[in-house]
Structure 1
């Protein structure tokens, strides 16, 4: 029974892995469910057993990558209570993750702001999975360190700034580990967030 469950999990993960590669390479609309099933080495019926639609694959992929990203952050950053220091540690850890995960980073760049991701799924990822960022923003607002703007808008701004930074480091990989550019990327982000 356990081995059967393991195979199901493996097949589902193979579908997600294949979809990730194909969505990044060909785009969402140009990728068929048949091509995902073929790349995953599963029957089309098996794909539909796990994911009734291609949109379900996209939404699950988005959530699972966001969860992996968040788990990496939480596992590596110990919050100190110093809002700016904690924000910088989270920022730098996020950039490290993006550099270490080039395919997933490209997926974020292509789809994070895409209409192909359901709005409810995007909100779930931002508010539930990345809840620790929401908490940090709220603490910063309460302490007068982060600007007193609507929290959802601040969260979207964080996300947009992050996507801009990883796009820059994707286009200029030689600068991804350059301390001057890494520091500058955080300063630009922080300048947009802090209270004036």
Structure 2
């Protein structure tokens, strides 16, 4: 998924908050790589994190990531996010060698890695920051990602984040072609009424102002 033209990224929480919307689910044990086109976010790629044998010599894995990202012909940089709870709390960490290999291979291909992060279930941190003064252990709470403005805007636009797909899973309730046609027609009818407002930055900002005022001054209990 490539993000809409007019999404505004204010910080890493916004970028990390966009990733689950781009994939449709919150990734786990995954490397997520995103291309950059100047200041714009580009394509999103998710791969399983490699095992110990690959981590011992991650150059081929890094080249695979590079080859996928080069499909975005306008890309000039990349962002990396390691979604894992394994071995990143105490630098250098399990994936520091993989991060170094990715940076070297992508930089050689003209895709400089501008930022990289580790994201666990409860905390996240900058992959390059080891100082306790600026990046105290265990990291920043993941709730900051969930509360990011871009995540709120994606929800406002109708995006949702579902559960991660299970390996080999099948739909519990198969949908017939006739039922699918009815569903799609209904979605199209609602979209015709709502999409113009849903895509309006002005409308979103006004909504946020009202929510902030309401939360700051909750109505008195009866």
TM-score (norm 1): 0.30
Structure having the larger proportion of residues in helix: 1
TM-score (norm 2): 0.27
Structure having the larger proportion of residues in strand: 2
- Report which of the two structures shows the higher radius of gyration computed on alpha carbons: 2
